[in-house]
Amino acid sequence: MKTTAFTQFHIENNAKMVPFAGYNMPIEFGGLTQEHLSVRQNIGVFDVSHMGEIWVKGPNALAFLQAVTSNDVSLLFDGKVQYSCFPNGKGGIVDDLLTYRIDEQTYLLVVNASNVDKDYAHLSAIAPKYNITPGKELYNASDEIAQLAIQGPNAMKLVQELCDEDVMDMEYYTFKKMTVAGIPQVIMSITGYTGAGGCEIYIANEDAPKLWKALWEKGAKYDLQNIGLGARDTLRLEMGFCLYGNDIDDTTSPYEAGLGWITKLTDDKKELVDRELLDAHKAGATTRRLVGFELVDRGIARHGYDIADADGNVIGYVTSGTQGPSLKKAIGMGYVQKAFMKSDSEIFVVVRGKLLKAKVVKTPFYKG
C-alpha cells in the first residue's frame, strides 16, 4: 500500500487511516460532521496526493487531447483549467478529469486516484496515432507529485500569506505557477470539489514537509483543521458533484450523467472517441438520467439501493447518498427513467424492503 508525502503528519495527528485507491489515506480526524462544517464555515486542508497527474506534451498534444477528452481543449489558454472526461469507446466514461494548459504544447491532466493505471493505459493505446510516445510526450508523473487542497471561505486569506504574488482575485478554474512557502514553480489552481472556495497546491514530493510546516505555522490563527476523505465526500455530494465509481463509470454516458455541458461535439472534434455514439446520445438515444433527490421520509439512501415508483416498480438506483451535515436532511443522487427526471417528481428509495418517499430536486443541494 502506498503512502503520500504527508502520511506521517496524518498519523501524528491521530487520523483514522484506511486503504483507499491503493493508498493509506486519512478518512477522518476529529469527526466527519465537525470537519465538514469547518470547511463550509472556515477552513480545512485535505491531502489529495493520491490523485493522478499525467503530462501531455509536444506539437500534437492538442490534436490528441481533442480526440481523447470530451471538452473542447482549443478553448483553453495558458493558465486555464477545464473539466472533462475520457469517452471509453463504448458510450461510457473511462474517467473524469481536469485539463491544465501550461502552454500551447504542454498540458497537465489530473485524474482520479483509482483510475491512474487505467487512464494511462487508455491514453497510451491512442497516443501513437498522434505521434505521441508513452513515457516521453505522454508521461505519468503521479508518484512524483504531492497535492494539498485548502478549502473554505477563509482558505485564500491563509494561502495569500504563503505567496509572493496576489492570489485573492484568481478566477475559478484558473491556475498560476508561482513561489509558495519559498518553494518555486508550484502550481496553484482554483477548482475545488467542496463548493466552499479555496485552492489546490501541486508540489514535488520532496517539498511536502516544507509546505506543510509553513501552512500550519500561518494556519494556527485561522483555526486551520485537518480534513479527511469522509468529509470530502459529503461536501462534494452537497454540491451535486459526480464521484467516479459511484455516479459515473464505464457504463454511464456523459449525457445520462448531466455532463453534456463538458461534451463538445464541434467540427474540430470529429476524431473524438465515441463521436457517433455521443451524437446519438445527445439526440436522445438514452433512457435514464442522473438526478438529485431529497428524502421526504426518515432514512438514508446508500449507494446501490433501488429506486422505485409508487407501486414498487424499480425505475433506477442510488449512486450516492448521505445525511448532508450543512443541510440537516438526507440527500442523494441516482439514475432514474426519464419519466421521473423532472424536479418535484415523486420517487421512492427501497431501504430494507420499505419504500421511503423522496422527491427529485435540482442540484446543488447546498446553495450557500
The whole-number average pLDDT for the span 2-15 is 97
The whole-number average pLDDT for the span 243-266 is 98
- Tell me how far apart the alpha carbons of residues 110 and 67 are, in angstroms, rounded to a whole number: 17
* Measured CA distances, 145 to 25, 162, 207, 301 (Å): 16, 19, 9, 36
pLDDT in tens, 131-177: 999 999 999 999 999 999 999 999 999 999 999 999 999 999 999 99
Contact 337, 316 (CB under 8 A): yes
| Residues facing residue 80 across a β-bridge | 174
Count of C-beta atoms within a 10 Å radius of residue 221: 9
pLDDT over 90 at 113, yes or no: yes
Predicted local distance difference test score (pLDDT) of residue 368: 82
| Residues facing residue 38 across a β-bridge | none
- Tell me how far apart the alpha carbons of residues 56 and 334 are, in angstroms, rounded to a whole number: 34
The whole-number average pLDDT for the span 239-263 is 98
Helix (H, G, I), strand (E, B) or coil at 72: coil
The whole-number average pLDDT for the span 119-139 is 98
- Cell output for 136: 516521453
Count of C-beta atoms within a 10 Å radius of residue 57: 17
Q: How many helices (H) and strands (E) does the chain have?
A: 8, 19
| Residues facing residue 292 across a β-bridge | 333, 361
Please, which pLDDT band fits residue 309 given cuts at 50, 70 and 90? very high
pLDDT in tens, 194-244: 999 999 999 999 999 999 999 999 999 999 999 999 999 999 999 999 999
Supply the DSSP string of 251-266, one letter for each residue: T--TTTTT-GGG----
Helix (H, G, I), strand (E, B) or coil at 24: strand
Q: In percent, how much of the chain has pLDDT > 70?
A: 100
pLDDT in tens, 34-65: 999 999 999 999 999 999 999 999 999 999 99
Q: For all residues of the chain together, what is the average pLDDT?
A: 97
Domains in the chain with CATH codes: 1-286 (3.30.1360.120), 287-368 (2.40.30.110)
- Tell me how far apart the alpha carbons of residues 51 and 115 are, in angstroms, rounded to a whole number: 9
Look at the pTM and tell me if it is higher than 0.95. Answer: yes
Helix boundaries (H) for the chain: 7-12, 32-41, 61-68, 116-126, 155-160, 208-219, 229-238, 275-282
Predicted local distance difference test score (pLDDT) of residue 292: 98
